[in-house]
Amino acid sequence: MEEEVPGLLKRGKLKELEEDAETYRLKNLTHSHPYLVPKAVDLLEEIGERFHKKLEEIGLPPYFLMVSSVLRTNESQQGLGKRNTNATRNESSHIYGTSFDISYKEFLPEHEKPAPEGYCRHDMMRHPLAEVLTEMSEEGRCRVVREVKQACFHITVNK
């Protein structure tokens, strides 16, 4: 699978995620690669834009979303299944580049320095993010599953 990525990128079937995107940052991707199908990239970017708008509406400063998982190979999926009970050992939507995970416990201030203890309460950030995801799910844009053990939202773009 990994050797197929350059061809898929060239044909426009996959798109590389930006490391310095306007609304999100890639968390240490140990079991995945920074690629998604173009429609999923657009979804991620819109989630980030709407999240920033929600924060502004409630008087909170902008924070980056932390993307914790994106495209996985079959091998990385099987390895992950051994240590993450949420990760299926069968086929995962992550291997198609149609799903990504966003942490609901970790958010990075725009100045990119970790916030002092107690300054960035993840519950204050999680609620606006959950609102955005609920809205987009109700619009038929995506499916969202809250993964408790991994403290993330698993998001799959709809066709």
Question: Cβ neighbours of residue 91 under 8 Å, at least 6 residues apart?
Answer: none
Q: What does the buried/exposed string (b/e) look like for 120-145 if buried means 16 or more CB atoms within 10 Å of the residue's CB?
A: beeeebbebbeebbeebeeeebbbbe
Q: What is the CATH number of the domain that holds 72?
A: 3.30.1380
The total number of structural domains in the chain stands at: 1
pLDDT single digits (tens) 59-113 = 888 899 999 999 987 665 554 544 555 445 556 788 999 999 999 998 988 876 6
pLDDT of res. 123: 75
How many whole angstroms separate alpha carbon 84 and alpha carbon 113? Answer: 28
pLDDT single digits (tens) 19-73 = 889 999 999 898 899 999 999 999 999 999 999 999 999 988 889 999 999 998 7
Full residue range of the structural domain in which residue 12 is found:
2-157
Let me know: does 26 contact 17? Beta carbons within 8 Å.
yes
Let me know: does 35 contact 9? Beta carbons within 8 Å.
yes
pLDDT of res. 87: 47
* Mean pLDDT, rounded, for 2-7: 82
**SS3 (DSSP) at 115:** coil
> Using CA of residue 104, residue 109, residue 114, residue 118, what is the dihedral sign?
negative
